[in-house]
C-alpha cells in the first residue's frame, strides 16, 4: 500500500480576522469576565485615515524635544512627544499643502539637518509602526496598510522598547523578530506578555487607533520695539514702553490669564543687551500694576549705553484666581485686596527682590527652626502662621532673637522685678539631629512693662531671653 504523504501548512496565528468553522459559530470571550477580546477586523480601505511621521533623536532630553516640537509645528498642527527621545507628527492633512509624501518627508528631514541633529525617521499609517521603524533605523515611507505587516516582520523586537523582563521572555522563546512574534496565538501571547503587548501589536498593524497627546506650546507675550534714533534717557524709555504694556495687558485679558514675572531687554549698538527682570507679588493682568512695577525699576536703572531697541517678554501664563473686590474701590482698587501686593512690588522694585519676603510656619517644636522665608505676601504668611497655632496654645512673639540671650545673675528672675504671666510651656525636642533642647518657656512682664518670652534650660537651670512681644 502506498503511503500517503501529509501536506504541512503554516498559517499566521495572529491574523486580523480568523474565519469561523461552518458547523458552529466562533466563540466570543467577554472582556468583562477577563477573557481576551477577539482580534479587531482589518480595515477594508487600502489607505489609512492617518499618516504618522516619527523622528528619533539620540540622546536628546525632554526640554530639547519641546523646542523641536515648535519647529515641527510648521509642518502639521498635531505634534506629540514620545519619551524619551522621539517625536510623532500626524501628516495626513499636510500632504495636499506640500504636494506629496516624498517632498514632505524630505522637508522635515532637512529641517533636522539644518539644526545639525542626528535623526532617524520613518512614515507609516500607525503611530507605533512609524516609531518602531525609526528606532530600528529602517527607512520607511508607507501609506497603505495592506503591506504593513510584511514591512514590520523584519524588525527586531528591541524596537518596541518594552521592559527588560518582557524582552527576556521573548528571547528565551527564541523570538528575535516581529514577524515571529506576529505568528504566535493571541491568547497565549496575552498570557505570557500581558494584554498590553497584544494591544501594541494591534496598534502597530493599524487595527486599533493609537491616540497621542498633542503638544501645546506655552504661551508668552513677546514684542519688540525698534527706535529710529538711539535713546539715552530713561524717561523716554518709559514713554516707549506704554503701548507695549497696554498690548501685554490686552493679550492677558483675551486669555483670562495673568503673569507673575516680566523681563525687559534693552538692546544697544554694541555689547550685550541689558536685562531687567521684574517680579510681581501675585498673578495679575492689570495694566496699572504692570506699568507701576516697570516705572519703579526704570527709576533705579542707569543706562550703560544708548538703547536702540527694547523687547518686553512675559513669564509663563497662569490662571487668574477669583477674588471679591471692594465695592468702593472702583477701578483703582484703593483699599482692596491688591493694595498689599502693590506695596510689596514697590518695595521689591526699590530694595531688591530678596529684601522683602514673607514668613511661613514649619511643623517644628523648636522656635528657632519653626519658620522659613517665602516669596509670597506677608499677609498670606501671617494667615498661615495663625492657622497653624491651636487656639488654646500659649502665645508666641513674632520677634525672636537670632540666638537666645543668656540672662546674667543680676537679671535672673526675682519676684519683685519679674511677673510670670503664663507658663510653663515645656519644649523638649531635636535629640535626633544633635541639636536637642529641653526648655520651660514663660511669658514674663518686666519692671519697665515690656512683655518678654523667656525660658529656663532644664539641665543647667539658666534663664534665657528668646523673644519680645509687640
Q: Which one has a higher pLDDT value, 332 or 357?
A: 357
Q: Which one has a higher pLDDT value, 413 or 137?
A: 137
Above 90 in pLDDT, residue 409? Answer: no
Above 60 in pLDDT, residue 334? Answer: no
Q: Which one has a higher pLDDT value, 89 or 435?
A: 89
Stretch among 213-217, 325-329, 459-463 having the lowest mean pLDDT: 325-329
CATH number of 222-328: 3.30.1490.100
Q: Model confidence over 133-151: pLDDT tens digits?
A: 999 988 888 888 888 888 8
Q: Model confidence over 277-290: pLDDT tens digits?
A: 888 877 888 898 88
Domain boundaries, given as residue ranges, for the chain: 52-204, 222-328, 394-468
Above 80 in pLDDT, residue 28? Answer: no
Mean pLDDT score of the chain: 80
C-alpha cell at 441: 518657656
Residue 409 CB coordination number (10 Å):
7
* DSSP letter, residue 294: H
C-alpha cell at 98: 506640500
Q: What is the pLDDT of residue 1?
A: 47
| 3-class SS shares of the chain: helix, strand, coil, % to 5 | 30, 25, 45
For residue 14, name the pLDDT band (cuts at 50, 70, 90).
low
DSSP secondary structure of 393-431:
SPP--SEEEEEEEEPPTTTS--TTTEEEEEEEEEEEE-G
Q: What is the pLDDT of residue 402?
A: 82
Q: What is the pLDDT of residue 250?
A: 92
Q: What is the pLDDT of residue 338?
A: 52
Above 60 in pLDDT, residue 13? Answer: no
Name, in order, each residue with C-beta under 8 angstroms of 312's C-beta and a sequence gap of 6 or more.
Answer: 221, 222, 223, 241, 244, 245, 248, 262, 263, 264, 265
Phi, then psi, of 368 in degrees rounded to 5: -70, -15
Element (H, E) at 463: strand 463-468
Say how far apart CA 124 and CA 88 lie, in whole Å.
11
Query: For residues 129, 132, 135 and 138, what is the CA-based torsion angle, rounded to 10 degrees?
Result: -60
Nearest in space to 277 (alpha carbons), one of 236, 243, 315: 315
Say how far apart CA 123 and CA 55 lie, in whole Å.
9
Q: Model confidence over 76-126: pLDDT tens digits?
A: 999 999 988 999 999 998 999 998 999 999 999 999 999 999 999 999 999
Say how far apart CA 319 and CA 455 lie, in whole Å.
47
Element (H, E) at 12: none
Q: What is the pLDDT of residue 439?
A: 92
Peptide bond into 428 cis (omega under 30): no
For residue 331, name the pLDDT band (cuts at 50, 70, 90).
very low
DSSP secondary structure of 195-228:
HHHHHHHHHHTTSS----PPP-PPP--EEEEEEE
Nearest in space to 292 (alpha carbons), one of 258, 323, 332: 332
- For the chain, the residue count is 470
Nearest in space to 200 (alpha carbons), one of 177, 182, 175: 182
Q: What is the pLDDT of residue 410?
A: 56
DSSP secondary structure of 337-384:
TTHHHHHHHHHHHHH-TTTS-EEEE-S-SSGGGSEEEESS-HHHHHHH
Looking at residues 443-454, what average pLDDT do you find? Answer: 84
Above 50 in pLDDT, residue 16? Answer: no
Stretch among 2-6, 46-50, 197-201, 407-411 having the lowest mean pLDDT: 2-6
Q: What is the pLDDT of residue 157?
A: 92
Is residue 92 within 8 A of residue 78, CB to CB? The reply is no
Q: What is the pLDDT of residue 389?
A: 52
Phi, then psi, of 87 in degrees rounded to 5: -125, 145
Looking at residues 427-431, what average pLDDT do you find? Answer: 85
Q: How many CA atoms lie within 13 A of 177 on its CB side?
A: 10
Tell me the sheet residues that pair with 156. Answer: 177
CATH number of 52-204: 3.30.70
Q: What is the pLDDT of residue 339?
A: 62
Stretch among 148-152, 174-178, 428-432 having the lowest mean pLDDT: 428-432
Tell me the sheet residues that pair with 307. Answer: 231, 268
For residue 393, name the pLDDT band (cuts at 50, 70, 90).
low
Say how far apart CA 463 and CA 150 lie, in whole Å.
87
Tell me whether domains 52-204 and 222-328 share a fold: no
Nearest in space to 120 (alpha carbons), one of 91, 150, 86, 152: 86
DSSP H stretches of helix in 139-257: 148-152, 164-172, 178-182, 186-193, 195-204, 234-254
Amino acid at each position: 500500500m502506498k503511503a500517503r504523504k501529509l501536506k504541512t501548512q503554516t498559517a499566521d496565528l495572529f491574523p486580523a480576522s480568523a474565519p469561523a468553522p461552518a458547523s458552529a459559530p466562533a466563540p466570543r470571550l467577554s472582556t468583562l469576565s477577563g477573557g481576551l477580546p477577539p482580534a479587531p477586523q482589518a480595515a477594508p480601505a487600502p489607505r489609512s485615515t492617518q499618516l504618522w511621521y516619527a523622528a528619533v533623536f539620540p540622546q536628546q532630553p525632554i526640554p530639547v524635544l519641546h523646542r523641536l516640537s515648535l519647529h515641527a509645528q510648521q509642518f502639521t498642527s498635531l505634534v506629540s512627544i514620545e519619551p524619551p527621545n522621539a517625536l510623532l507628527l500626524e501628516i495626513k492633512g499636510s500632504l495636499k499643502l506640500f504636494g506629496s509624501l516624498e517632498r514632505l518627508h524630505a522637508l522635515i528631514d532637512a529641517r533636522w539637518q539644518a539644526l545639525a541633529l542626528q535623526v532617524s525617521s520613518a512614515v507609516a499609517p500607525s503611530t507605533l509602526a512609524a516609531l518602531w521603524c525609526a528606532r530600528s533605523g529602517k527607512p520607511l515611507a508607507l501609506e497603505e496598510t495592506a503591506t504593513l505587516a510584511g514591512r514590520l516582520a523584519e524588525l527586531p523586537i528591541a524596537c518596541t522598547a518594552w521592559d527588560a523582563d518582557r524582552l527576556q521572555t521573548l528571547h528565551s522563546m527564541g523570538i528575535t523578530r516581529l514577524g515571529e512574534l506576529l505568528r504566535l496565538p493571541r491568547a497565549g501571547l496575552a498570557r505570557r506578555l500581558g494584554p498590553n503587548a497584544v494591544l501594541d501589536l494591534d496598534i502597530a498593524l493599524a487595527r486599533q487607533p493609537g491616540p497621542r497627546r498633542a503638544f501645546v506650546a506655552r504661551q508668552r507675550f513677546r514684542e519688540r520695539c525698534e527706535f529710529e534714533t538711539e535713546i539715552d534717557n530713561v524717561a523716554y524709555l518709559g514713554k516707549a514702553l506704554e503701548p507695549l504694556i497696554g498690548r501685554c495687558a490686552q493679550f492677558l485679558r483675551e486669555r483670562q490669564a495673568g503673569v507673575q514675572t516680566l523681563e525687559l531687554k534693552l538692546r544697544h549698538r554694541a555689547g550685550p543687551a541689558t536685562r531687567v527682570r521684574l517680579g510681581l507679588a501675585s498673578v495679575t493682568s492689570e495694566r496699572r500694576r504692570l506699568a507701576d512695577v516697570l516705572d519703579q525699576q526704570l527709576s533705579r536703572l542707569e543706562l550703560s549705553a544708548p538703547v536702540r531697541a527694547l523687547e518686553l517678554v512675559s513669564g509663563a501664563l497662569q490662571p487668574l484666581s477669583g477674588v471679591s473686590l471692594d465695592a468702593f474701590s472702583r477701578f483703582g482698587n484703593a483699599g482692596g485686596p491688591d493694595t498689599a501686593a502693590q506695596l510689596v512690588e514697590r518695595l521689591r522694585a526699590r530694595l531688591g527682590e530678596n529684601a522683602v519676603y514673607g514668613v511661613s510656619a514649619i511643623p517644628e517644636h523648636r522656635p528657632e527652626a519653626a519658620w522659613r522665608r517665602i516669596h509670597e505676601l506677608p499677609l498670606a504668611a501671617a494667615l498661615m502662621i495663625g492657622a497653624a497655632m491651636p487656639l488654646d496654645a500659649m502665645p508666641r512673639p513674632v520677634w525672636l532673637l537670632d540666638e537666645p540671650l543668656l540672662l546674667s545673675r543680676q537679671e535672673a528672675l526675682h519676684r519683685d522685678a519679674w511677673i510670670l504671666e503664663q507658663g510653663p510651656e515645656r519644649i523638649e525636642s531635636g535629640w535626633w539631629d544633635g541639636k536637642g533642647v529641653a526648655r520651660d518657656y514663660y511669658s514674663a512682664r518686666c519692671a519697665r512693662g515690656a512683655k518678654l518670652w523667656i525660658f529656663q534650660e532644664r539641665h543647667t537651670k539658666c534663664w534665657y531671653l528668646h523673644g519680645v512681644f509687640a
